[in-house]
Amino acid sequence: MTTQATENMELSRWSGGVCPFDAGWRKVMMWAFIITDGLLFAGFLASYGFARLSTPDWPNQGEIFNLAFIAAMTFVLISSSATMASAVRAAEAGERSRARMYLWLTAVGGLIFLGMQAKEWSTLILEGVALSSNPFGAPGFGAYFYLITGFHGTHVLSGVLILVFTAVRWGKGITQPEGVEMAGLYWHFVDLVWVFIFTLFYLI
């Protein structure tokens, strides 16, 4: 084998694919963000699991939360994810007004979710659930509740702002379909995190 052929073989072996993920840099970066942010939530939930497992008098969620209300919050968020997926689909297909309608619907879903979370928080605050004490049992319960749901709520608020900006810019023709897809990835991530919080914090 000639030196040139050996060099070419080495080059093809180590140069990698032209685009290994077959995705634009925005999407790859968004996924990198989602993985790191997801690990942050995993850390929170693992910490909560530790506290929960090692505390004998952890409060019974059935006595504290209105499960039907929390299920309704979940319904709102899942529905907003479906409208977001439809917005991305419409943007891809070039259906501008349809994509804009679904973007606004998703933002409204996020706002409804935030309103319901505010209602839930105010109910618990009025019942005396504070960061370091509560009338139901383990003192750490309030801190974990406010930290985890608050951090998620902040993500929802950011998501609503992103959706509003995206909808306005899409309406003006500034945002491209890829921009709608990135907003969608973030919004679905917010929904995904809630699936874990809903199960681990409210149901189990």
Partner 1 sequence: MSAGKKTGSYGLYWRIWFILLIVTLVMVFIDRPTAQALQGSEPMFPQGVLIFILVSAMLLKALLIGSYFMHLRFERVAISLAVLVGLLINGAILFFLIVPDACRILGMTSG
Site for partner 1 contains 178 (CB under 8 A): yes
Site for partner 1 in 107-166 (CB under 8 A): none
Q: Which H or E run includes 78?
A: helix 67-92
Pick the stretch among 55-63, 111-119, 123-131, 161-169 that binds partner 1 (CB under 8 A): 55-63
Site for partner 1 contains 40 (CB under 8 A): no
CB 153 within 8 A of CB 122: no
Toward partner 1, which CB reaches closer, 9 or 42? 42
Instruction: Please count the other Cβ atoms lying within 10 Å of the Cβ belonging to residue 30.
Output: 19
Residue at 102: amino acid letter: Y
Structure tokens, 63:
């006595």
Burial class of residue 137 (count of CB atoms within 10 Å of its CB; 0-12, 13-18, 19+): middle
In the structure, how many helices (H) and strands (E) does the chain have?
7, 0
Toward partner 1, which CB reaches closer, 24 or 128? 24
The residue whose two tokens read 């694919």 is 17
Q: Contacts with partner 1: how many residues (CB under 8 A)?
A: 58
Site for partner 1 contains 24 (CB under 8 A): yes
Site for partner 1 in 180-199 (CB under 8 A): 181, 184-185, 188-189, 191-192, 195-196, 198-199
Toward partner 1, which CB reaches closer, 55 or 133? 55
CA 188/CA 158 separation, integer angstroms:
13
Site for partner 1 contains 92 (CB under 8 A): yes
Site for partner 1 contains 62 (CB under 8 A): yes
CA 52/CA 55 separation, integer angstroms:
5
CA 45/CA 51 separation, integer angstroms:
10
CA 38/CA 174 separation, integer angstroms:
30
Pick the stretch among 75-83, 108-116, 147-155, 167-175 that binds partner 1 (CB under 8 A): 75-83
Contact residues for partner 1 (CB under 8 A)? Answer: 20-24, 27-28, 31, 34-35, 38-39, 42-43, 46, 49-56, 60-62, 65, 67-68, 71, 74-75, 78-79, 81-82, 84-86, 88-89, 92, 177-178, 181, 184-185, 188-189, 191-192, 195-196, 198-200, 203-204
